[in-house]
Amino acid sequence: MGWDGAILTDSGGFQVFSLDHLVKVTDAGATFRSHLDGSEQHFTPESVMAIQRQLGSDIAMAFDQPISWPATTAITKAAMERTHQWAARCLESEPAPGQLRFGIVQGGFDEALRRESAEVMSRLPFDGFGVGGLSLGEPKNITYRLLSLQTAILPRERARYLMGVGTPADLVEAIARGIDMFDCVLPTRIARNGSILTRGGRINLRNRRFIDDAGPLDEGCDCYACARFSRAYLRHLFMAGEILGHRLASIHNLRILVRLVGEIRDAIGRGKLATVMATLRDQWALAPLP
């Protein structure tokens, strides 16, 4: 890939979940039809760990079974217990040299099961833990409550990773609850549609009000796009269908999130997290959506 930085590979659990109409899940693993050519594919804890070992990623995720909102207690419990069984099997596979392995806690939207999953997984010798199965349609207050339940149980000395979550507000709230890592397609996905992250909320560059706006995408941002181009120019790129607009918007949105996390990291180092969090909640969590 020509990338000399850290690489995290996922096990495919969420991807299998997203193909729910094409997949059959048993304790042995998941069998599904490819949406590309219709070929039958079979994932097991052993096979997905072998693939990640061959890729040589720095962090490999255990195979899991997330469920969507809402779900019955019976379905949730069965998926959670299967995830625990698969996690133990993943640990039996040999990792690549220097490769870390993270387990994934589940439990759906049931508080008792979320606690149970965190307790069970905490006893397994993973190098870190992903919190999976959140932000799948449930209200945000439920997301944050369940997240707090599990981070209170998961070992503090091992990394906690909130999977698939990444709005500025989510980052602020999740870090306040003990999360260390994130991944999310949001900054680049919304950039492709001309949606820009700013400290005043998202803006849509396709709106007419930006036709003559000579200002940067966000005042005070030090990214390549803000240093060199105006909102009006990027709007022109989007309206003309120029791919450069997508790239510049992606650079900006990613830089905004990197700076936000850096600001929080600095506050933690200075022992000022509570003070900074109050300000960030005003700037991001209550920011209007487009």
Dihedral angle over CA of 104, 108, 110, 111, nearest 10? 30
Domain end residue (candidates: 133, 158, 184): 184
Give 122-180 pLDDT, tens digit per residue: 999 999 999 999 998 899 999 999 999 999 999 999 999 999 998 998 999 999 999 99
**Distance from C-alpha of 95 to C-alpha of 52, rounded to nearest angstrom:** 8
Q: Is 183 a catalytic residue?
A: yes
Contact status, residue 180 vs residue 161, Cβ threshold 8 Å: yes
Task: Please give the share of the chain, as a percent, with pLDDT higher than 70.
Answer: 97
Are residues 50 and 123 part of one domain? Answer: yes
Are residues 275 and 237 part of one domain? Answer: yes
Identify the domain containing residue 247 by its residue range. 188-285
Angle between helices 73-91 and 111-122 (to 10 degrees): 10
Instruction: Specify the amino acid at residue 49.
Output: M
Are residues 53 and 141 part of one domain? Answer: yes
Are residues 155 and 209 part of one domain? Answer: no
**Geometric angle at alpha carbon 195, from 189 and 198, rounded to 5°:** 115
Domain end residue (candidates: 164, 184, 204): 184
**Distance from C-alpha of 81 to C-alpha of 74, rounded to nearest angstrom:** 11
Active-site option among 10, 64, 170, 218: 10
2 in a structural domain: no
Please state, as a whole number, how many other Cβ atoms lie within 10 Å of the Cβ of residue 263.
14
134 in a structural domain: yes
Residue 127: both structure tokens together = 């190098």
Q: What is the pTM of this model?
A: 0.90
β-pairing, 181-183 vs 195-198, is unpaired
Are residues 163 and 211 part of one domain? Answer: no
Are residues 210 and 91 part of one domain? Answer: no
Contact status, residue 45 vs residue 93, Cβ threshold 8 Å: yes
Domain end residue (candidates: 135, 167, 184): 184
Active-site option among 110, 127, 180, 183: 183
15 in a structural domain: yes
Domain total of the chain: 2
Label residue 290 by pLDDT band (50, 70, 90).
very low
Q: Alpha carbon of 181 to those of 102, 164, 194, 213, 243: distances in Å?
A: 12, 10, 26, 35, 30
Give 56-72 pLDDT, tens digit per residue: 999 999 999 999 899 99
3 in a structural domain: no
Are residues 151 and 25 part of one domain? Answer: yes
Are residues 251 and 115 part of one domain? Answer: no
Are residues 199 and 165 part of one domain? Answer: no
Instruction: Specify the amino acid at residue 133.
Output: G
Contact status, residue 88 vs residue 119, Cβ threshold 8 Å: no
108 in a structural domain: yes
Q: Is 282 a catalytic residue?
A: no
Label residue 288 by pLDDT band (50, 70, 90).
very low
Q: What is the CATH number of the domain that holds 158?
A: 3.20.20.105
Angle between helices 243-269 and 231-240 (to 10 degrees): 140
Are residues 252 and 149 part of one domain? Answer: no
Return the residue matching tokens 């890939």.
1
